[in-house]
Amino acid sequence: MVGRPARWFYPGGVTDGPETLRITLTGDDRPGVTSALLQAVAPLGADVLDLEQIVVRDHLTLTLLLRTAGDAGTAATDRAAAGSARELRGAVQAVADRLGMRAKVREGVGDSLERPAGRAHVVVLGRPLSAGPLGAVTARIAAHGANIDRIRRLSHYPVTTLEFDVSGADVPALRAELAAVAAAERVDVAVAPAGLARLGARLVVMDVDSTFIQQEVIELLAAKCGREAEVAAVTERAMRGELDFAASLRERVAVLAGLDASVLGAVRAEIILTPGARTLVRTLKRLGDTIALVSGGFIEIVGPIAADLGIDHALANRLEVRDGKLTGRVEGEIVDRAGKARALRRFAAEAGLPLSRTVAIGDGANDLDMLETAGLGVAFNAKPLVRAQADTAVNVPYLDTVLFLLGITREDVEEADALDGIPTPAPLLS
């Protein structure tokens, strides 16, 4: 809140800005500070234009912007404003003295009604979040010519997450600049437009293997016939983008020929969800979001996971079975890189959501089209190629840190769980 020349909109039209006082109280927080200040200035007839306060570690900063007189420009109104200002200064200082706080009063003219251009949310998270990388992020914001208007903490464990409200930014350019800082400083940074673009229903689409779950299902299946290492090597090359995904999938599935179909149930029992997966889904469902799992793996595994968690959509490849045995082939069209992006578009259309309201999360090269198509593409513990091309990267092993990128706080999650009688894992492990 800065007193500066502005144009004011009143029922009678547009006028020059009135005289203002910006009052700031700082000191130890306690109940009743705000009411004491307002009660002190109320008898003097000033109008409240803005009121903000923040408490950091029991230290309060309270700022009040008042209009002290009507339209400026005549000797009479100038004298009235000066007298009113003196009385207000005295009343404010008396409150500060009584409460053992510091008071600062600054005179100004008007207060802009215009919202600053280029508003964005910059979310920084780390485990730990060190001063050096954080300083590099804030320095880059300043060098960009943007201003940090507000900072708040979104979480303190298992990662520390800070959110910066920024104005004066070219959002796509700032995102690119901070991506370079994030890579150099080994810290996770996300940049998203502010305002309504961040609010309302979303579609969240997630890869499965090594994203929503900790394993690669094809490797678990290959282990049943003693060929896990061979298949894992092919998987690694495919995820790095060195091999065509569809061809590599056919090559890997071929080694499963002859396995009894009962191995699918055994593999389902071995699946371990990524820490935070349940919390992420539970929280998004509370918000009314649509959730989808889209996988280059197998629907025999992905489908039951989705059904168990109440996930809205599940798309994956289907293994061919003949006479109770896997044939080493898949049925139908393979869900590859392009197929994942098509699925995201289809799910968004079915939910009546624009692509700007979609989030995609993945780790491998076959997720790149999906990440690029979504309004926000998140590379989760991803391969270097994917980290370099995604909107943002998360490099901690907790899937629900994605909630913090969306502006949802750790406290929000815990309070919602408490209301539903669900103990939130600590740290966010399920």
Give pairs for 310-315: CB < 8 Å, separation 24+. 310/281, 310/285, 311/281, 312/347, 313/343, 313/347, 315/339, 315/343
Record the tokens describing residue 39, joined without a space. Answer: 């009660």
Q: Helix 277-286 crosses helix 299-309 at what angle (to 10 degrees)?
A: 50
pLDDT at 237: 87
What does pTM read for this prediction?
A: 0.81
Residues of the chain under the 70 pLDDT cut: 1-18, 69-83, 109-116, 197, 424-430
pLDDT at 425: 63
pLDDT at 6: 38
**CA-CA distance, 77 to 56, in Å (whole number)?**
39
Catalytic residue among 29, 78, 111, 207: 207
**CA-CA distance, 294 to 367, in Å (whole number)?**
9
Cα Rg of the chain, angstroms: 28
pLDDT at 8: 37
pLDDT at 111: 56
pLDDT digits (tens, 9 = 90+) for 211-234: 999 999 999 999 999 888 888 888
Catalytic residue among 111, 209, 289, 363: 209
Question: Tokens 């799910």 sit at which residue?
Answer: 347
Structural domains in the chain, CATH included, are 7-109 (3.30.70.260), 120-198 (3.30.70.260), 203-419 (3.40.50.1000)
207 classed as catalytic:
yes
pLDDT at 297: 94
The one-letter code for the residue type at 227 is R
pLDDT digits (tens, 9 = 90+) for 170-186: 999 999 999 999 999 99
pLDDT at 340: 97
